[in-house]
Structure 1
Amino acid sequence: MLFRRRNKNFNLLKIIEGCVRRKPLAQKELFDAFSHASKNICLRYSANEVEAEEMVSDGFLKIFNNIEKYDTVQPFDAWFRTIMINTAIDYFRKNHSRINFTDLEYAQEVVNNENELDLLSTEEIMAFIQKLSPVYRMVFSLYAVDGYSYAEISLMLGITEGGVRANIYKARVNLQQWIRDYLARQSTI
């Protein structure tokens, strides 16, 4: 589960109703309940904590401005997650729009070694992902972490599916090399 368990007194629908009425206490409760999860989402798309915090702030602003559009029949977690991911994409477009995407012709098959990942902590993996260029980090996170298809990513970012594949390939190559180098250094210590 993406979101932490809440205490028994936590009433999400009541908090959402308060947010619709623009009640500051309800907005604070919603922020407190979901800020950790939103930061985790945004960290996957950001280069550092400062960028992630900007994305979180922008995301909550969008949530508070559009909370009346939330359909209470649908799971709030999914609606919330979608807004945070779209906020990260918007941040990328605004701040990294001049970056070029790799073409498909440079993409090849990448060999996965899942055992290497088992040797790393979540924090170490996140640090490697954050080292990726903004383009690689964006497409890799959308594909590998959030499970979007090449076609969906292509539409979200306005690039070809071939460009998506190529950038995912390059991201994976970089990650694999960094992880191998890191593990080699660790084994000599």
Structure 2
Amino acid sequence: MTPTTDTRLNTLWEGCLKNDRKQQEMFYRLLAPKMLAVCMRYAKDKDEAQDILQEGFIKMFKHMHNYRGEGSLEGWIRRIMVHSAISRYRKAKTMVLVDDFDEQGIPVIISYNNNTLEVNDLLRLVQALPKMYRSVFNMYAIEGFSHQEIGSKLGMTELLSRTTLHRARTILKDKLNSLAVRERHCLAG
């Protein structure tokens, strides 16, 4: 965020703390697009991401007096969004691992032209992962949680977190390879 946006955010935050509904709405409108992007990484589609976003903002407004000014306000809200996604995962979790993916241990070489891969394409690939794989991948690769933290938050062992991350990466590599093959066929044909 720019300094003027930070100033505006802080001004709106003061209004939010005073329960000024207009300030709360403007605060929401200012941060919602950025927080929706965070939620999209955990959701299977935009509808689910919007649900997570709403749950996150409800929690944030309910507990806004808990923000002590340590770290950035935006970072604090981002953590709430991530925790809302994790909570949603826990509620919907069925602890059945379906191992229908090939685990042959063959190294995958990706020769995909990164210039043609759009952010939205990557987001769709991550969203297509099974829910547990998507959650572990995002928490580890994007949010920076350790496997121990992931295990604690998602109710799994550290080993299962590591295994799930490995499988998620394998699935993503396979999908990227498939895209690369399709692109080469399109260019050749």
TM bucket, shorter chain: 0.7 to 0.9
Cα distance, 1:100 vs. partner? 2.4
Q: When the two structures are aligned, how many residues end up with a matched partner? A: 183
Cα distance, 1:99 vs. partner? 3.5
1:48-82: CA deviations, max 9, x gaps?
Answer: 00000000000000111111111124311221111
Q: How do 1:83-94 and structure 2 match up within 5 A?
A: 83-94=80-91
Change (3 A) 1:53 1:110: farther
Partner of 1:98: 94
Structure 1, unpaired ranges of 5+: none
State which of 67, 76, 80 in structure 1 corresponds to 2:73.
76
1:185 is the counterpart of 2:182: yes
Report sequence identity in percent.
26
Partner of 1:40: 37
The 10-residue stretch of structure 1 (134-143 or 20-29) with the greater mean CA deviation from structure 2: 20-29
Cα distance, 1:164 vs. partner? 0.2
Cα distance, 1:118 vs. partner? 2.4
1:137 is the counterpart of 2:154: no
**Rg larger for:** 2
Give the aligned CA root-mean-square deviation in angstroms.
2.4
Change (3 A) 1:8 1:93: closer
d(CA) in 1 for partners of 2:147 and 2:40?
Answer: 21
Q: How do 1:1-189 and structure 2 match up within 5 A?
A: 4-5=1-2, 7=4, 10-95=7-92, 97-101=93-97, 111=107, 116=112, 118-119=114-115, 120-189=117-186
Give the match's secondary structure for 1:128: helix
Give the match's secondary structure for 2:33: helix
Query: Is the 1:136–1:168 Cα contact (8 Å) retained in structure 2?
Result: yes
Superposition TM-score, scaled by structure 1 size: 0.87
Give the match's secondary structure for 2:69: coil
Query: Which amino acid in structure 2 is aligned with residue 68 of structure 1?
Result: H
Superposition TM-score, scaled by structure 2 size: 0.87
d(CA) in 1 for partners of 2:54 and 2:5?
Answer: 27
Larger RCO of the pair (alpha carbons < 8 Å, separation 6+): 1
Structure 2, unpaired ranges of 5+: none
4+ runs of 1 displaced by more than 2 Å?
Answer: 4-14, 99-103, 106-119
Cα distance, 1:12 vs. partner? 2.5
